[in-house]
Amino acid sequence: MDYEEFFREDFDRIEQYKPGEQPTEEGWVKLNTNENPYPPPQVILDEIKMSVNDKLRLYPDPTAKYLRQMISSVLLVDKNTLTNPRSVFIDNGSDGILENIMKAIVDPGDQVDYFYPSYGMYRVLSMCYRAKRNEVKLTEDFSIPDEAYSLKGKLMFVNSPNNPNGKAFSKNTISKLCSSYPGIVAVDEAYGDFCEISALPLLKEFKNLIVVRTFSKSFSLASLRMGYAVADPEIIKALNKVRLPYNVNYLTQIAAVSCIKHRDLIKKQNEKIISERTRLTEAISQYNGVSVEPSDANFIFIKFSEKSVCLKFNWDLREKDMLVRHFSSPGLYQFLRVSVGTPEDNSKFLEVFDEIAQKYL
Ligand SMILES: Cc1ncc(COP(=O)(O)O)c(C=O)c1O
């Protein structure tokens, strides 16, 4: 049957998001999707296991009151930001949050501004919601260009630290964007726990700011899908109006609360990731013909002097069961993005990198 006539008129023009590879077989050193290399600490796994009980029969708390309280009164308490549960929205991963921001704010034809290169979902969501897309190129060193301070759209997405290069934008840059932009500025801090820079304190100053964060990266909960947004209660009310009724499931709520309770254990794991990021950066920077972008995230972005060499590295790493991420997109052909793994994974990566370097560098 030819379904074309049933789909929306612009259906063929919508581009699908291309996620990194998730192999089902074992044996890969997986450094391609910026997951946390450490599992949640045992005590958190135990608390999740203990919750696999009769409650699964019931719908979860639709307002996730306890979890939102824990986020506002514990997780955010030392972040110099809004700490009222009415300022916190939660959803099924930060992707869910980004979608609800679009749903609540963007009418078809409204201008949505975002940067390139950056996280691909801003583009996909803008297409799905029929926005007028304005993709603004970052400068050569992945900074915000001056033209961004005179944009006149309805919604702007800023990713800080920015995926794929890893650098966070300064508080001053975000502050300038919030004060010059007439619409809402959504700062996606998916990797925000791997650095000290955050827009969270700016929420006290700017009513048009939403800060979006996730438990997928720093809290090792990518599979359970838990994201949160912090903003003025009026914005949060609007997001709640358009979201699905039971958007965060019961086990995810339990797991997220447990992560917050045991955040000191999580912090230790993330400290290891940060120090391994430095080790990887220093080791790779030794080679001629490659450089590493400064990173505030749990991944590094390696630049090769030639695209062909980059592709050879990507291919040979794969041959040695190591998955990293290459983007076949303008301006990115010469780069490989490598998630920081455990010290063992990183040592293996450096060993294999060295072998390949002997051939091509
Ligand atoms: C910048 C950025 N934002 C959001 C997401 C989505 O994360 P989540 O798992 O919370 O939906 C990702 C995932 O890789 C990301 O890189």
Binned at pLDDT 50, 70 and 90, residue 221 comes out as very high
Q: Return all residues near 155 (Cβ < 8 A) that are at least 6 apart.
A: 101, 102, 105, 106, 110, 111, 112, 113, 131, 183, 184, 186
**How would you list the strands of the sheet with 111-116, edge to edge?**
88-91, 227-230, 209-214, 184-188, 155-159, 111-116, 132-137
* Whether pLDDT at 131 is above 90: yes
CB of 274 closer than 6 A to ligand 1? no
Q: Return all residues near 127 (Cβ < 8 A) that are at least 6 apart.
A: 10, 13, 14, 15, 133
Mean pLDDT of 67-85: 97
CB of 35 closer than 6 A to ligand 1? no
Q: How far is the CA of 353 from the centre of ligand 1 (A)?
A: 27
SS3 readout for 153-211: CCEEEEECCCCCCCCCCCHHHHHHHHHHCCCEEEEECCCHHHCCCCCHHHHHCCCCEEE
Task: Show me where the domains of the chain are located.
Answer: 20-39+264-360, 42-261
Mean pLDDT of 322-339: 97
CATH of the structural domain 42-261, one choice from 3.40.640.10, 3.40.50.12500, 3.40.190.10, 2.60.40.290: 3.40.640.10
At 2 the pLDDT is 86
- Which tokens sit at 293? 């972008």
Q: How far is the CA of 277 from the centre of ligand 1 (A)?
A: 19
Nearest ligand 1 atom, CA 216: 9
Answer yes or no: CATH 3.90.1150.10 is held by domain 20-39+264-360.
yes
Q: Return all residues near 315 (Cβ < 8 A) that are at least 6 apart.
A: none
Percent of the chain as helix, strand, coil, to the nearest 5: 45, 15, 40
At 1 the pLDDT is 84
Q: How far is the CA of 254 from the centre of ligand 1 (A)?
A: 21
> CA dist 141 to 164, 167, 249, 301, Å?
12, 10, 40, 12
Nearest ligand 1 atom, CA 225: 9
Q: How far is the CA of 283 from the centre of ligand 1 (A)?
A: 27
CB of 159 closer than 6 A to ligand 1? yes
Strands (DSSP E) contained in the chain are 29-30, 88-91, 111-116, 132-137, 155-159, 184-188, 209-214, 227-230, 290-292, 299-304, 322-323, 335-339
Which of 2-16, 30-44, 252-266, 292-306 bottoms out in mean pLDDT, i.e. has the lowest? 2-16
CB of 216 closer than 6 A to ligand 1? yes
Cα–Cα distance for residue pair 113/154, rounded to 1 Å: 8
Q: How far is the CA of 359 from the centre of ligand 1 (A)?
A: 35
pLDDT in tens, 278-311: 999 999 999 999 999 999 999 999 999 999 999 9
Nearest ligand 1 atom, CA 97: 11
pLDDT in tens, 332-344: 999 999 999 999 9
CB of 190 closer than 6 A to ligand 1? yes
Q: How far is the CA of 94 from the centre of ligand 1 (A)?
A: 6
Q: How far is the CA of 86 from the centre of ligand 1 (A)?
A: 23
Nearest ligand 1 atom, CA 92: 11
